[in-house]
Structure 1
Amino acid sequence: MTDSSPGSRLVDAYDLVIFDLDGVVILVDRPIETAVEAVGRLHAEGKPLAYATNNASRLAAEVAALLRGMGLAVRPQEVLTSAAAAAELLAHRFPPDSPVLVVGADALRTEVREVGLRPVTRLEDAPVAVVQGYGPTIGWADLAEAALAVRAGADWFVTNTDRTLPTPRGPVPGNGSLVAAVRTALGRDPDVVVGKPEPALFTAAARRFGAARPLAVGDRLDTDIEGAVRAGMASLLVLTGVSTPFDLLHAPASARPDFVASDLGGLFDPDRVARLTNGSGSADGDGWQVVGGARTVLTGAGSSLAALAALCAASWSGTPVDDVEPDSDAARRALGELGLLR
């Protein structure tokens, strides 16, 4: 893990930036404001980039084409998907032409076929494994076949367990919600979870680009950030997707990022990113102080992100912050911008 010196650009401390996609660069099929500019700037500077996504509904080439259509110069080899990672793992576990029951989008079936396995759809095809990924047309019949096959002895692989997907209209059920239905029917967990928070996508990206000091950028504490922690990588949480400042205050030690920013602009501007102490530092920082006692008070002045960093340090060190009170207009403004004003 590499530190970024105060006043320097965060991105300059790392030799690879690994982006999550949904909630960081895009929302379904639209670019997030500032993402096109930020990624274009990194490309212009020659910074190696990778895109590691839990979304198993598109092939790497399709993801790259989608991003290019939004003005991002992305190559297929820069994209790592949980569908491809799952297929590679299945190919290592089972002989060629083994039947695998695929529950998911066409992209997942294609990845399974391209590694020499045979995608099937029914229990009667005697699948050796079930692989389950997100697909917008998955229905009860698909989940029923998966449950029946696993109950009959097939190994159960899932591409990821994201409970929700971010969309411009708000979060919608993700693959984790579909996995939960099968889990409930079976009364047990999957045998293998491939995508984040497992570290495989991050470590594969680092190997592919020969990176020694990668930075993982994500919008979800429970997948992107926890995956980076498990992989031993520095991480940046951006507040453009699922996880909120309130979620960050209550993040377990296994899912605490090193930095937080409102958006990808924090990669370049030291004033738009805050360093977090992961519970080991003071609750003071950049003009703010969190004072505990009979009541918890935020005092001082500065940016709302710096206030968030001070609140995280306090919360992660055991100070209750759910009902923190502002002691000034500046503190009230910061808490309001963070959605933490009670």
Structure 2
Amino acid sequence: MTDEPLIRRFDALLCDLDGVVYAGPDAIDGGPESLNRAVEMGVPVMYVTNNASRPPAAVAEHISQLGAPTRASSVASSAQAAAKLLADRLPENSRVLITGAQALADEISAVGLTPVWSQAEDPAAVVQGFNPQLGWEQLAEAAYTLADESVLWCATNTDRTIPKERGIAPGNGTLVAAVAAATGREPIVAGKPQAPVFHEAAERARSRRPVVVGDRLDTDIRGAHAAGMASIEVFTGVDTPETVLRACDRERPTYLLGNLRELFAVYPEPQVTHEDHDVTATCRDATAVARENAVTVRASENSLDGWRAACAAWWALHPEAEAPTDPDVTWVSES
């Protein structure tokens, strides 16, 4: 463990939005001020979002209104990634059926393709992105169009859920799944967890040591693995310490933080030792022992250091896990 704050290990933050910076219209506690502090320390912040319903300028304005002044050029969206993917595969001016918001249509126009809204306009592709106003008729139009196997189908993202101010709501992935069920087809996915959107964000920041900051294992953390980048799981959104412990190897984050304020503290690296069939990890005053299908944690119940130790021990015992695991976890409180 070094004496420097965690943020000093990186030269850019590639930050998710929903569940990290805000939930619905409201800032998450500690978010904007922490991002401002990072920029003041010379660590640029790029925002990488799978929400294709708003243009980057609107996203930047929202972040700015919450207290973290931001430019549109600092927002890399899945809508932009989808537009670039389609532009690379289709002739210029090709028609693309929009199953999503006007912001998605604008990104399609920006790369030289023609957005349309009906199968009757003979589209060569369908692009589907999140839109809270999307209804049955738009989903049906996509299904009708995709009955032609020659029509390309691209989804901006397949997030099953989205954190909102009132709780967890269905995300774009649920709407994509409805079209997939109707057509028997699967889309190409442009945004997270695919690597290109992260590489684009890092290039814009001129970063060589970026870290992905997110609240979701299946998009943010898996995407960081795909891009070959370090990752931070922050527990202010969708995933929890329990789901992180059980994660498959491609969804295991490098660091665990309770909130963004902890970027500016020294990170307690768990120390791992192997003995016979046991693995022991210590994180400050917390100790975890992983054995067979169980983890015993000696710490204040549900303490973050306890979970850090538990993850370090369990992952060291099971370094390769193609699917989520299911250990029995026992907490022994230290009084």
Q: Same fold (TM over 0.5)?
A: yes
Residues 146, 182 of structure 1: 8 Å contact kept = yes
Residues 219, 239 of structure 1: 8 Å contact kept = yes
Partners of 2:35 and 2:243 in 1: CA distance: 26
Q: CA deviation at 1:164?
A: 0.5
Q: 1:326 pairs with 322, 327, 331, which one?
A: 331
Partners of 1:278 and 1:161 in 2: CA distance: 36
Partner secondary structure for residue 73 of structure 1: coil
Partner secondary structure for residue 171 of structure 1: strand
Residues 105, 135 of structure 1: 8 Å contact kept = yes
Q: TM-score, normalised by structure 2?
A: 0.90
Matching residue of 1:299? 298
Distance 1:228 1:248, change over 3 A: same
Partners of 1:158 and 1:276 in 2: CA distance: 39
Matching residue of 1:95? 91
Distance 1:131 1:324, change over 3 A: same
Matching residue of 1:217? 213
Deviations 1:108-165 (A, max 9, x none): 0111112221111111111100000000111111111111111113100000000000
Deviations 1:184-224 (A, max 9, x none): 1112211x100111011111111122211101100001100
Residues 32, 67 of structure 2: 8 Å contact kept = yes
Which 5+ residue runs of structure 1 have no aligned equivalent? 331-342
Q: 1:18 pairs with 14, 21, 42, which one?
A: 14
Q: TM-score, normalised by structure 1?
A: 0.88
1:169 aligns with 2:166: yes
Give the aligned length.
323
Partners of 1:137 and 1:96 in 2: CA distance: 29
Residues 281, 288 of structure 2: 8 Å contact kept = yes
Deviations 1:66-99 (A, max 9, x none): 1111111101111101111111221222122211
Give the root-mean-square deviation of aligned CA atoms: 2.4
Distance 1:264 1:279, change over 3 A: farther
Residues 279, 312 of structure 1: 8 Å contact kept = no
1:42 aligns with 2:47: no
Matching residue of 1:257? 253
Letter in 2 for 1:188: R
Q: Identical aligned pairs, as a percentage?
A: 42
Partners of 1:36 and 1:67 in 2: CA distance: 8
Partner secondary structure for residue 240 of structure 1: coil
Which of 1 and 2 has higher RCO (CA within 8 Å, sep 6+)? 2
Worse-matched range after superposition: 316-325 or 15-24: 316-325
1:283 aligns with 2:254: no
Letter in 2 for 1:162: D
Name the structure with the higher strand share.
2
- How does 1:110-259 map onto structure 2 within 5 Å? 110-152=106-148, 153-190=150-187, 192-259=188-255
Letter in 2 for 1:314: A
Residues 123, 148 of structure 1: 8 Å contact kept = yes
Partner secondary structure for residue 2 of structure 2: coil
Q: CA deviation at 1:45?
A: 2.1
